[in-house]
Structure 1
Amino acid sequence: MSFAERFENLEIWQQAQELAVQIYSEFGASSPSARDLRFNSQIQAAAVSISNNIAEGFDSGSNPEFARFLRIAKRSCAEVRSMFYLAVRLNYLSSARSGELRNDAEVLSKRIAAFTRTLK
C-alpha cells in the first residue's frame, strides 16, 4: 500500500506536524492575533487537519482511499496559505514571515501531491 509501515515514518506527515507547531507558535497566546479566537482556531484547525488526514488516510487500508485523504490534506495546505495572506492584512503577521510560512505550506502541498501520484 505505501512505502512506510507507520504513518509516523512518512516525511510528509512529519513536515505537516512541524508546520502545525510553527502555526501554533505564531498564533499563540502572546501573538498579535491572540484576541481573535476565531482566526486562531481556524488556522490552527486547518494546520492540524493536514497531518491528521495523512494519518487517517494511511490507515484506510486502500491506495484510492489514502489518495482521497491526501487530496484533503493538500486542500488544508491551501487553506493555511490563504489564512497567511489574511494574517498580513490584519497585522497579525509580517509580510516576510507570512511568505516564509506560505512557502513551507506550498512545499508541503507539492510533496503531498507527489506522494499521491506514487499511490496509483
Structure 2
Amino acid sequence: MSKFQKFEDLEIWKIAVSIAVQVYSLCDAEPMKSDWGMKDQIRRAACSMSDNIAEGFEYNNNPDFIRFLNYSKGSSGEFRNKLVILHRSGKISDMVYNDLYAKSIEFSSKTKSLIDYLKKFEAEKKKK
C-alpha cells in the first residue's frame, strides 16, 4: 500500500463524502425536510464517517488513525441503522435505500481492510 500524503486521497474518505453529500440532498427534500430530528441525526452520522477519517489521519500516526477509523466504521453502522428505519417507515424509496446501503457496506468493508492492514503493519513494526 502506498503512503498517502493527505486524507483526501483515500478511497474510503471519498466514499464517505459522497454518502454525506447524497444525504444532504435527500434531507433538503420532503419528507425528510420536515423531520428535524431524524434529518439532524442521519446527517451527523453520515458526516461523522468522513470527519473521523480526516481527524485520525491528521494525527499522523497509525495507532490514532486506527482508533478514528474504528469510530468512522461505527458511524457507518449508525448510519445504516437509520437508513433501515427510514426505509421501513416509508420515508425513503427502495432505490435510495439500496444505493446508500450498498455504499455504506462498501465503506465499512474497505475501512475494515485498512484497519486490518494498519494493525498488521504496526505489529510487524514492533517485531523489528
Query: Is 1:24 paired with 2:24?
Result: yes
Q: CA deviation at 1:15?
A: 1.1
Q: Which amino acid aligns with 2:13?
A: W
Moved over 2 A (4+): none
Match in the other structure for 1:7: 7
Q: Residues of 2 paired with 1:13 and 1:97: CA distance?
A: 20
Match in the other structure for 2:122: none
Match in the other structure for 1:113: 112
Q: Residues of 2 paired with 1:58 and 1:19: CA distance?
A: 19
TM-score by length of 1: 0.92
Residues 32 and 91, structure 1, Cα contact 8 Å, conserved in 2: no
TM-score by length of 2: 0.87
Q: Residues of 2 paired with 1:103 and 1:91: CA distance?
A: 18
State the structure with more CA Rg.
2
- Give me the CA root mean square deviation: 1.3
Residues 43 and 80, structure 1, Cα contact 8 Å, conserved in 2: yes
Q: Which has the higher contact order (CA 8 A, sep 6+)?
A: 1
Instruction: Mark the runs of 5 or more structure 2 residues left unpaired by the alignment.
Output: 120-128
Q: Residues of 2 paired with 1:104 and 1:61: CA distance?
A: 27
Q: Residues of 2 paired with 1:3 and 1:80: CA distance?
A: 29
The number of equivalent residue pairs is 118
SS in structure 2 at match of 1:91? coil
Instruction: Mark the runs of 5 or more structure 1 residues left unpaired by the alignment.
Output: none
